[in-house]
Structure 1
Amino acid sequence: MKITLKKKKLTTGKLSLYIEYYKGKIVDAEGKVKHNRDFEYLKLYLHENPQNPKEKQENKDTQKLAEDILAIRQAEYVQGKYSIRDHNKPKELFLDYYEKKKQERYQSDQNYDNWHAAQKHLLKYCPKNLTIEEVTPDFIRGFKRYLDTEATTSAGIGLSQNSKYTYYNKFKACINAAFDEGYFSSNPLRGIKGFEMGESQREYLTFNELQSLYRAECKYPMLKTAFLFSCLTGLRWSDVNKLIWGEIREETDNEGKPYCKIIFRQEKTDGLEYLYISNQARSLLGERKNESDRVFRGLKYSSTNNAEIVNWSNRAGITKHITFHCSRHTCAVLMLENGADLYTVSKFLGHRELRTTQIYAKIVDSKMKEAANIIPELKL
């Protein structure tokens, strides 16, 4: 493994110093080279162009400190490689170590939000001065019990099964990382089971119900258009609400056929997405406006709009409890029912993990089971 000190230019004009841990590369089945790197951001900064003796001295001092940290990290690696135990590592504060692991996910975009949400509960349960060596099996069981019986959401209600599953897994990943890096002589997680992942019900509209909804009157035309657009594209409320015309690209392919796609950053994950949309979805939007204009001007999240979606559904003869997010579920189910494969639907919805999309596949399977009993029984 190569451990090197590197710099990254920030928008502030300063240079951020970080350590890169290069663990080599692999070539996948398609011949693509993938590099395995980890990063440790030191929270040390250099002036890119020092203007006076003071800034030059600050750069010199900061660079020296960063190089000293690099030397320590290189020594730690040698100690770990040759099984020389560093007795100071287990005395590091556990909350500080968790923060470091969380920040690594921020740079690599690996479930940072979930790590951050789990940290809020960990801060409530874990003493501030708890060291890594004090993370015992009893401590782990205690935190699991806390998530299960005491932890609440910001609204004051208990955590859902999937939230317990997610938060405990981030906590567990942190401990596993500490074990891999030599903070523990044995893994304190051994023999402790985590939470089972729960299956949440995802309400959706069938094709006929969506058709009925289109024909029914909605008190707020912009809300109706936005909801139908989400049903055809799978966009979340947050992404529909902030969508601007500059993110909608209308182009032609090599054969001269027009097509439309949206290039945007997901509000939830901050990931850049490229989403192709149908001609019908584009037609719902009407005449193009200025590039900086919101597509759905005047749309806003409110209890009034939420109540109108329910009332609108009732006018369409739909008795299900429909929310705006059901439009996203509707898109997923309709795509699967009409032949799209699971991987494509997962990418279409911007899911990070395929298992998130597999819930919809189960819904489609259940509809197939229902369809098997539609044929009347023969009189045999």
Structure 2
Amino acid sequence: MRTSQTFSISFITRKKKKQPDLALLYARITVNGKSLEISLKRTIPVDKWNQAASKLSGSSSESRQINKKIDETKAQLYKTYDGLLKEGLLVTTQTVKARFLGSDQQHYTLAYLINYHKEKMGKVLKYGTMKNYTTTENYLKGYLKAQYHTSDVYLKQIDYQFILGFESYLRTLPSLQNNGVMKHMERFKKLMRLAEHLDWIEKNPTKRFKLRFDQVDMVYLNKPELEKIKNEIFEKPVLTINRDIFVFACYTGLAYADAKALNNNHLQIGIDGNKWIYTRRSKTNTAVRIPILKEAQKILDQYRNHPKIDGTENLLPVYSNQKTNQYLKEIAKVLKINKKLSFHTARHTFATTVTLANGVPIETVSKLLGHTKLSTTQIYARVIDSKISSDIDVLREKLNLLQAKENSID
């Protein structure tokens, strides 16, 4: 019961041995006559400390910040003490300190949160997404080891300084550019939001952190480049195969995973009586329906009985993503196309050169790509120079007609 307990809080300082004019600040908690100290991790000038008032003298910015920290600590310690009493737990200096620091809830650590996320989301999120979370986890472990010399941290100990420190740590890694850093920070924010929703933390410090992505130019092939790749005769058969599958994606807009998974069950007769691809995007599970253009059908016919897919339901002999991109780089080098080709370049090419540049409305392109928001398509679908030129020619013609009418009236 409360009447059987005595609880008090005071604040003391301890001078630094090598800097006697500075002192470390501590909160001293006393329960039933037994005391324990908690470091506030603050250094203060000795001559400004008023022990009687447990405050730093003066009205400087430093004094206001230290005094605010003292008031907040005092309020939190009383709240901690009251909480233990309400829960009927044994109240000691150790349990108050442990609850205050978060160490009485050992499962509410960053490592526990990450493992919980793996367990709950491992079967919901795609393999690639979970693989990215694992990379973020490894970077968090590296940061903890480098900055704090530990392997884990309690969630309530994560503050805004911790977040900024993690960002700075990521920026020291030679393999990461700004957008890579922001993707890891984005996943960290999602993890902390999960902890907030689970009521494992009262406040989510990552809410204040703003993601700052650099705008990236999408790589796509213009019409002459696409024709060049289509018409080239390669000496290596493996380059021919990967070129053909790349071109197929240029005329369907399918992402790598969806092209690799394509099988006979995905071929349907569409509303117009022609062959369509009916599938779902592996990344988002969004339904996609794509009319098969002549160029794409030609490639499907060409590989119908290919040995690599013989005995399977697959429609195309797609290599691994790594190998495919490796061969595409070789193709670009052979053809002297000074662009960093990857399989995803085909998707961008479909959105720009194949569809938008030929007058297909962006709303239709969005449906073909399987986007749920038009704004996503606007990022992918670049307006190429030839389209700008043709649009301006139409504008010039309209302006000339208006000018001619005005002149005839005069």
TM-score range, shorter chain: 0.5 to 0.7
**Matches of 1:114 and 1:343, distance apart in 2:** 31
1:235-274 counterparts in 2 under 5 A? Answer: 235-240=254-259, 242-243=260-261, 245-251=263-269, 253=271, 257-263=273-279, 266=282, 269=283, 271=285, 274=288
Deviation at 1:236, TM superposition (A): 3.1
Does the 8 A contact of 1:168 with 1:194 survive in 2? no
1:213-228 counterparts in 2 under 5 A? Answer: 213-219=229-235, 220=237, 221-228=240-247
Deviation at 1:90, TM superposition (A): 8.0
**Matches of 1:307 and 1:114, distance apart in 2:** 24
The C-alpha deviation readout for 1:108-161, integer Å capped at 9, x for no partner, is 4385454333223223223433111211222122112112223xxxxxx42132
- The aligned residue for residue 176 of structure 1 is 193
Alignment equivalent of 1:146, drawn from 157, 169, 188: 169
The answer for unaligned runs of 5 or more in structure 2 is 1-85, 90-98, 145-149, 401-410
1:125-140 counterparts in 2 under 5 A? Answer: 125-126=143-144, 127-140=150-163
Deviation at 1:162, TM superposition (A): 2.1
Deviation at 1:185, TM superposition (A): 3.5
SS at match of 1:189: helix
Alignment equivalent of 1:295, drawn from 287, 295, 315: 315
Q: Which has more radius of gyration?
A: 2
Choose 141-150 or 348-357, whichever is displaced more.
348-357
Deviation at 1:107, TM superposition (A): 4.4
**Matches of 2:188 and 2:154, distance apart in 1:** 15
SS at match of 2:301: coil
Does the 8 A contact of 1:233 with 1:331 survive in 2? yes
- The aligned residue for residue 301 of structure 2 is 286
Does the 8 A contact of 1:218 with 1:312 survive in 2? no
Change (3 A) 1:103 1:207: farther
- The aligned residue for residue 380 of structure 2 is 360
1:162 aligns with 2:162: no
- The aligned residue for residue 75 of structure 1 is none
Does the 8 A contact of 1:248 with 1:261 survive in 2? yes
**Matches of 1:149 and 1:158, distance apart in 2:** 9
The C-alpha deviation readout for 1:202-240, integer Å capped at 9, x for no partner, is 221223432343233333432332121011012234543
**Matches of 1:366 and 1:165, distance apart in 2:** 31
The answer for unaligned runs of 5 or more in structure 1 is 1-82, 151-156
Deviation at 1:163, TM superposition (A): 1.9
TM-score, structure 2 normalization: 0.56
Count of residue correspondences: 282
Which letter does structure 2 place at the counterpart of 1:119?
A: E
Higher helix share: 2
Identical columns (%): 22
Does the 8 A contact of 1:260 with 1:282 survive in 2? no
Alignment equivalent of 1:310, drawn from 320, 332, 339: 332
**Matches of 1:356 and 1:304, distance apart in 2:** 27
Does the 8 A contact of 2:279 with 2:287 survive in 1? yes
Alignment equivalent of 2:206, drawn from 167, 175, 189: 189
Alignment equivalent of 1:276, drawn from 290, 302, 317: 290
Does the 8 A contact of 2:219 with 2:345 survive in 1? yes
1:124 aligns with 2:142: yes
Q: CA RMSD in A?
A: 4.1
- The aligned residue for residue 74 of structure 1 is none
Which letter does structure 1 place at the counterpart of 2:298?
A: S
**Matches of 1:307 and 1:177, distance apart in 2:** 40
**Matches of 2:372 and 2:105, distance apart in 1:** 33
TM-score, structure 1 normalization: 0.59
Which letter does structure 1 place at the counterpart of 2:155?
A: I
Does the 8 A contact of 1:89 with 1:183 survive in 2? no
- The aligned residue for residue 231 of structure 1 is 250
Does the 8 A contact of 2:242 with 2:328 survive in 1? no
Which letter does structure 1 place at the counterpart of 2:241?
A: M
**Matches of 1:187 and 1:304, distance apart in 2:** 42
**Matches of 2:183 and 2:212, distance apart in 1:** 10
Change (3 A) 1:139 1:366: farther
Which letter does structure 2 place at the counterpart of 1:129?
A: D
**Matches of 1:322 and 1:278, distance apart in 2:** 23
Deviation at 1:286, TM superposition (A): 1.2
**Matches of 2:118 and 2:185, distance apart in 1:** 14
1:11-90 counterparts in 2 under 5 A? Answer: none
The C-alpha deviation readout for 1:79-121, integer Å capped at 9, x for no partner, is xxxx99x965586212211332344444443854543332232
The C-alpha deviation readout for 1:247-278, integer Å capped at 9, x for no partner, is 4424365x7x2323153673xx3847544242
